[in-house]
Structure 1
Amino acid sequence: MDAQQQAKERDQAMRKTSVVGAIVNLVLTVVKIVFGIIGQSTALVADGVHSLADLSTDLMVWFAAKYSNQPADKEHPYGHARIETAFTVGLGVVLIITAIGIVVDSGQRLLNPDTLLQPTPIVLLIAAISIIANEGLYQYTMRIARDFNSNLLKANAWHHRSDAISSIVVLIGVAGSLMGVPYLDAFAALGVAYMIGKIGWDQAWSSIRELIDTGMEPKTAAAVARIIENIEGVQSMHMLRSRRMGDSYLVDVHIEVDERLSVSEGHKIAEYVRFKLIESEKNITNALVHIDPEDDSLELLCIGLPFRREVLADLRKVWAGEVDAADCDSVTLHYLSGKVHVDLVRPMHDASANLSQRLAEKAQTLDYIGQVRIFYQYS
């Protein structure tokens, strides 16, 4: 399945899940608030507000699915996955605000006992129905979230489960009130508020960490490093960095290879590293692999060395009379350990130990030149 088809299926699944959740939560919101008022239960009314928050987050999921699964474009070369992340932050904020509202209302009732409500038995039935409905939504939404690895759907699934748990708390609180402990209903509402607030904080903070480019967990990063280091041709690696983009990671890393490899062979190794990272089970969608002939994470030893044009101009001067100016164009330069090392290929009929020695000695009069190697080949 190609990426575009997968994104399309993900979009459809997220929208379907949000529509099912919205319908169920709309019904639960109305039923809980109406019967909470009729049955005189602060906790059930609070639970109704919780369902209303669930309804709002189902709508968020629908809009996030519409935009976050769009393919990359010129203005968004890494795709639109962080739209989902931003909506998840919004979901968390809604939960926290909901929790604060419930705490304020319940706290005021506890401080003013005359305002405490006396629940009726009908509240128990509504709470039980809510528990069954929300646990069913949790199982359904979490299954889709795992199939498509969506943090937003996982957050919404836990939102449904928190509603189920809060209904359990309502059930216990109302049962206690009916047995003669009137404060339990208000305390149950506070318990609901705590659960709502904690889930909201956890989801919002996790998504904020993604938005500020928090990297992989240390264990995951270590596993990625092992994959890279076990690839043939990779001598070591450093500067492994990652950032989350929706349900996946973007990675960039520096790998050290043999210092005298050709550009094409180094590129092949880099491409293979990229392929193995994307192929791994670490949710990596893309990787940028930088090739180093030596570890440049400690010190940029070659940063001040001259570029090829200047090096060739200097070599033509010191090799004047020994090598034709045009032949200097074919030298291979290696920038290593703060020096420019030179490889020169000459025809076999010029082979001479004296010539090799003279060329090396003259080149090394340039203070930035390191090793000089002369190779001879048949024409």
Structure 2
Amino acid sequence: MRVPVQKQERYIAIRNVTILSVVANSLLTIVKITFGIIGNSHALIADGIHSFSSLAVDAMVLLAAKYSILPPDTRHPYGHGRYETLVTLAAGLLLIVMAIGLFSEAYEQLVGHKSPSEPTSIVLIIAFAAIIIKEAIYHYTVYIANQVNSPMLVANAWHHRSDALSSSIVVISVLGYMAGYLWVDAVATIIIASMIAYVGFEECLPAINKLIDTSINKDKRIKIKEIAESVNGVFFMHKLRTRKMGINILVDMHIVVAPRISISEAYKIAETVRHNLLDEMEEVVDVLVHIKPENTMNSLDLPQRNEITSRLQEQSIEVVEKIEKITLHYVDGKLLLDIDLPLNIIQNNNQARFISQQFADFAVNDPDIYAINTYYHGTVYDSPKVFQIDELHDFIQDKN
């Protein structure tokens, strides 16, 4: 499996922006709770607890960023990229939980006619400062997330924005209280909670899809197909299977090639497909290419080499023991055999035709064999060329 380029640099970028987040969340937690108590604002105290919960997400992000870059091992042969996916899911779930908490609080205010406490002006100052700080960190985190392609950082960025929205509720609560509209706080809370819940679901669903090996999007699948089928020797590609491992893509496919090419040529074609995908698609880190010869349907029940060899040995064909090589081709539910014999076992063209006819008769009487082609291979003293029947006459005449 290929290790993505600049993996260490990606980790450093995620680590640095998350450390900034830890510092900001720690300070805001202390300031909000302290001045919430001093300023007689339960909303600001709750907002401080909200900031404290974001520290848990920061810790998970740091751990995931560290462990997701570990190389593959025996227990994790595809790497550790799903640490990021798990943290993205956890962050999304926390957003949903926070939204439910806000809904509950708003419902209690509306139905239970619970009035907010009278806050002091210091609460407004702290809340405004928190909004500015959190929005700045949100935009910076999203910028880094786009630079390093990290859905996990995007999820964490939305925790910063949810903090900013939570602080905005505090501002609305204070202004509403000052204007005499006590219900404004609850309505604003419901709207903001809805936004946070929506973002939480938006983060959770892609993470869940990755964990259950959902395929990549259609455009990327089409691109993979185009790259594979552009390789010379590939008739077409099918049975494409893809899945995500963190930000990386794993690919499994079948390619159809000519039925009578050599194994080494087929392997070369498959390797070319694999390398082209790795070179042209940065997210692709592992490609498994299965080779399938064309027109090999219904060949599963056909005999293998040992059975064919056994059948030949049961025949009364004298030259069977002289066979140098048998090549089996599984085509259209039948076997096509290429048999190589040494050239020095025949004296004339008629003898060669007789031997070939014996093999042809055997093929006619065997239900699994479509035809047998007989070839004669010269030694270095005769000729290095491989002859078919029609080519033997002139060579034998010259030899004699």
Q: Give the TM-score of the pair, scaled to structure 2.
A: 0.85
Q: Find the counterpart in structure 1 of residue 333 from structure 2.
A: 338
Distance in 1 (CA, whole Å) between partners of 2:250 and 2:295 is: 22
- The offset of 1:287, in angstroms, is 0.3
Structure 2 partner of 1:357: 357
- Structure 1 counterpart of 2:179, one-letter code: M
Partner of 2:317 in structure 1?
321
**Aligned amino acid, residue 162 of structure 2:** S
Indicate the residue corresponding to 2:144 in structure 1. Answer: 144
User: Do the aligned partners of 1:57 and 1:156 also contact (CA within 8 Å) in 2?
Assistant: yes
Residue 93 of structure 1, CA deviation: 1.8
Structure 1 residue 309 corresponds to structure 2 residue 306: yes
Q: CA deviation at 1:160?
A: 1.9
Query: Is this contact kept in 2: 1:49–1:98, CA < 8 A?
Result: no
The residue that corresponds to 1:224 in the other structure is 224
**For residues 230 and 172 of structure 1, what CA distance do their matches in structure 2 show?**
60
CA positional deviation for 1:271:
0.6
- The change in CA–CA distance for 1:295 and 1:223 in structure 2 (over 3 A counts) is farther
Tell me the secondary structure at the aligned position of residue 314 of structure 2.
Answer: helix
Structure 1 residue 204, shift from structure 2 partner: 1.9
Partner of 1:294: 294
1:285 match: 285
Which residue pairs with 2:264 in the alignment? 264
CA distance in 2, matches of 1:342, 1:356: 12
2:304 partner letter: F
Task: List runs of 5+ in structure 1 lacking aligned partners.
Answer: none
- What is the identity, as a one-letter code, of the residue corresponding to 1:321? I
Partner secondary structure for residue 6 of structure 2: helix
Matches within 5 A, 1:21-60: 21-39=21-39, 44-60=44-60
Relative to 1, partners in 2 of residues 1:258 and 1:313: Cα closer, same or farther, differing over 3 Å?
A: same
Where do 4+ consecutive residues of structure 1 move more than 6 Å?
none
What secondary structure, in the 3-state scheme, does the structure 2 residue paired with 1:71 have? coil
Kept in 2, the 8 Å contact 1:58–1:156? The answer is yes
Equivalent position amino acid for 1:302 in 2: S
- Following the alignment from structure 2 to structure 1, what is the Cα–Cα distance between the partners of residues 47 and 372? 80
CA contact (8 A) 2:259 2:295 kept: no
- Count how many residue pairs are aligned between Structure 1 and Structure 2: 373
Structure 1 residue 367, shift from structure 2 partner:
0.9
- Displacement of 1:186: 2.1
For residues 70-98 of structure 1, the C-alpha deviation after alignment (integer angstroms, 9 at most, x for no partner) is: 11111111111112212222222222222
Q: How does 1:57-96 map to 2 (within 5 A)?
A: 57-96=57-96
- What residue identity is the alignment partner of 1:323? V
CA contact (8 A) 1:345 1:376 kept: yes
CA contact (8 A) 2:64 2:83 kept: yes
SS of residue matched to 2:319: coil
User: 2 CA distance for matches of 1:295 and 1:87?
Assistant: 47
Provide the C-alpha distance between the structure 2 equivalents of 1:111 and 1:118, rounded to a whole number of angstroms: 20
Question: 8 Å contact 1:7–1:70 — kept in the other structure?
Answer: no
Equivalent residue letter for 1:110: L
Kept in 1, the 8 Å contact 2:17–2:141? The answer is yes
Mapped partners of 1:180, 1:242: distance in 2 = 58
Distance 1:324 1:90 in 2: 69
Structure 1 counterpart of 2:307, which letter? E
1:155-234 matched pairs, under 5 angstroms: 155-168=155-168, 170-172=170-172, 174-234=174-234
Read off the aligned partner of 1:236 and give its amino acid letter: F
Relative to structure 1, the CA distance from residue 5 to residue 220 in structure 2 (aligned partners, 3 Å threshold; closer, same or farther) is closer
Question: Taking structure 1 as reference, are residues 326 and 141 closer, same or farther at Cα in structure 2, changes over 3 Å only?
Answer: farther
Cα contact 1:170–1:189 (8 A) shared by 2: no
Deviation at 1:337, TM superposition (A): 2.0
Show structure 2 runs of 5+ residues with no match: 380-400
1:113 aligned counterpart, secondary structure: coil
Aligned residues: CA RMSD: 2.4
Residues of 2 paired with 1:292 and 1:336: CA distance?
A: 11
Of 338-347 and 122-131, the range deviating more from structure 2? 122-131
1:44: Cα distance to partner? 4.2
Question: Is residue 153 from structure 1 mapped to residue 153 from structure 2 by the alignment?
Answer: yes
Going from structure 1 to structure 2, the CA distance change for 1:188 and 1:122 (only over 3 Å counts) comes to farther
State the AA in 1 paired with 2:15: R
Of 53-62 and 155-164, more deviation after overlay is shown by 155-164
* Counterpart contact for 1:250–1:286, Cα < 8 Å: yes
TM-score (norm 1): 0.89
Query: Could you give the per-residue CA deviations for residues 158-189 of structure 1, whole angstroms, max 9, x where no partner exists?
Result: 32233334444554554344333211122222
CA drift of 1:221 comes to 0.8
Distance 1:47 1:312, change over 3 A: same
CA 1:102/1:114 → structure 2, altered by over 3 Å: closer, same or farther?
Answer: closer
Identity %: 41
**1:345 alignment partner AA:** D
Tell me how far 1:40 sits from its aligned partner: 5.2
